Amino acid sequence: MKSPYISKKYWNFSKGQLAESADSAYQYDDLINLTLGDPDITTDERIIKGAFEGALNGHTHYTESVGMRELRQKIMELYLEDYSYSLRLEEIMVTTSACHGMWLVMQGILDPGDEVIIPSPYFSPYKDQVEMAEGVPVFVPMYEEEGYQLSMERLESKISTKTKAIIVNTPNNPIGSCLNRESLENIARIAKKHDLLIIADDIYTIYSFQEPFIPITSLEGMKERTITLGSFSKNFAMTGWRLGYVLAPDYIIEVLKSINENNVYSPPSISQIAGIYAIDLRKEIYDDLLDLFKERVYYAYNRLKLLKGVEILEPMGTFYLFPSIKGTGLSSKEITKLILNKAHVAVVPGTAFGDEGEGYIRIAATLSLEDLKVAFDRLEKLDIFK
């Protein structure tokens, strides 16, 4: 909206297709909503009880602005035990979600005109957050026929004297793909060659179906040039707790801390208590969540393969699927609208995630097998898929 009372830098910001898909979904009482990456699983009862007891015991105040020391120590333990990766307290900052962490990072590292390379399709807030920090997003396409592995030739061709960072998201939202170790090592090599930062959006770490997850920051020579964004939302089914963290060299954490003192100051104390319990319980929680969502994803994958005009790669990670609907002859927006109005099933057009998303839709397998069955039974009845 253009108004003299609104900052000009926000005049061209409008509601994205991701939000539009979610909002428009509620027009039908029998809707099956497969748009949002919000697991239908309630947070583990032990985490809830632990946070509740913490609140009753007086943990209802501000914490250190970088997060509770005990939680940061737990994050240190997690990375050491799970990835043999050592951290210091000064290299950890707890944030009010990973999205908040990404906002802090962009504000902290970008000068006007600095470029950030974003593999595409991409999680839609990346572009907006770069632009809000007066940076310039530069997109590198990834293609289904290449297994969604990032082409090093295309990546390096996008690097200029203004390039500041490369965003790496694996397992990937929206694609459901994973970068293999060779790809990660090649990205690391290019970052070191051109003296670039890596911003690792490591949100779906437990949902790597074919190979163990590798934090790019753990590769040789990458700790000093990697900013890692972590979250409790997906790995612990804690979306509503709004709890994430940033791992970075201590001088970067100091800058983010200063910026955040003018924002929310510190994350919610009660959520941080929940995070402590979550990390302690992670080995039990991880297995249950991985088994559950892998079953759902593969169920949806097998049903998608039966639809005429639809093609899809075998799932590699996350709880998202990104099928091609090019064989139907419809655009992403057209088929999304048709599915919503005719089958009362809500999905997201691939174009919500960049130009490379045209010809695709994103499905979030975050509902029960029963709901997924009903959704695909409805889709199968549509003439376009027969």
pLDDT above 70 covers a percentage of the chain that reads 97
Taking the C-alpha atoms of residue 146 and residue 10, their distance in angstroms, rounded to an integer, is 36
341-348: average pLDDT: 96
User: Looking at beta carbons, which pairs linking 305-313 to residues 24 or more positions away fall under 8 Å?
Assistant: 306/380, 307/379, 307/380, 307/385, 308/384, 308/385, 308/386, 309/384, 309/385, 310/385, 313/144, 313/147, 313/148, 313/177
CA–centroid distance for 263 within its chain: 22
pLDDT for the residue 27: 78
- Architecture of 45-282 per CATH? 3-Layer(aba) Sandwich (3.40)
Kindly calculate the radius of gyration of the chain based on its CA atoms and give it in whole angstroms.
21
pLDDT of residue 17 exceeding 80, the answer is no
- 15: which residues sit within 8 A by CB, 6+ positions away? 23
Q: What angle do CA 37, 123, 293 make, to 5 degrees?
A: 30
Homologous superfamily assigned to 8-42+284-385: Aspartate Aminotransferase, domain 1 (3.90.1150.10)
pLDDT for the residue 24: 65
pLDDT band at 8 (very low <50, low <70, confident <90, very high): confident
pLDDT for the residue 16: 64
Query: Could you state, in order of their start, the residue ranges of all structural domains in the chain?
Result: 8-42+284-385, 45-282
pLDDT of residue 357 exceeding 80, the answer is yes
The per-residue pLDDT for range 281-303, each reduced to its tens digit, is 999 999 999 999 999 999 999 99
Helix (H) or strand (E) holding 345: strand 345-346
Query: CATH topology of 8-42+284-385 equal to that of 45-282?
Result: no
How many angstroms separate the Cα of 136 from the Cα of each of 110, 147, 165, 168?
9, 27, 11, 16
Q: Are 293 and 317 in contact (CB under 8 A)?
A: no
User: DSSP alpha helices (H): ranges in the chain?
Assistant: 17-24, 45-56, 69-83, 98-109, 125-132, 152-157, 181-193, 250-260, 269-280, 282-304, 332-338, 369-380
pLDDT of residue 119 exceeding 70, the answer is yes
Taking the C-alpha atoms of residue 187 and residue 183, their distance in angstroms, rounded to an integer, is 6
The per-residue pLDDT for range 305-336, each reduced to its tens digit, is 999 999 999 999 999 999 999 999 999 999 99
pLDDT of residue 25 exceeding 70, the answer is no
* Token code pair at residue 222: 């990458």
Phi, psi of 267 (to 5 degrees): -70, 165
* Token code pair at residue 213: 């997850």
Torsion-angle region of residue 143: left (phi > 0), alpha (psi -120 to 50) or beta? beta
pLDDT of residue 7 exceeding 90, the answer is no
Count Cβ atoms within 10 A of the Cβ of residue 47 and give its class: 0-12 exposed, 13-18 middle, 19 or more buried.
buried
pLDDT for the residue 9: 78
342 DSSP assignment: I
pLDDT of residue 209 exceeding 70, the answer is yes
pLDDT band at 21 (very low <50, low <70, confident <90, very high): low
pLDDT for the residue 173: 97
The per-residue pLDDT for range 230-277, each reduced to its tens digit, is 999 999 999 999 999 999 999 999 999 999 999 999 999 999 999 999
Average pLDDT, the chain: 95
pLDDT band at 14 (very low <50, low <70, confident <90, very high): low
Farthest-apart Cα atoms in the chain, separation = 60
pTM score over 0.85: yes
324-350: average pLDDT: 97
pLDDT for the residue 235: 97
- β-pair type (348-349, 361-364): antiparallel
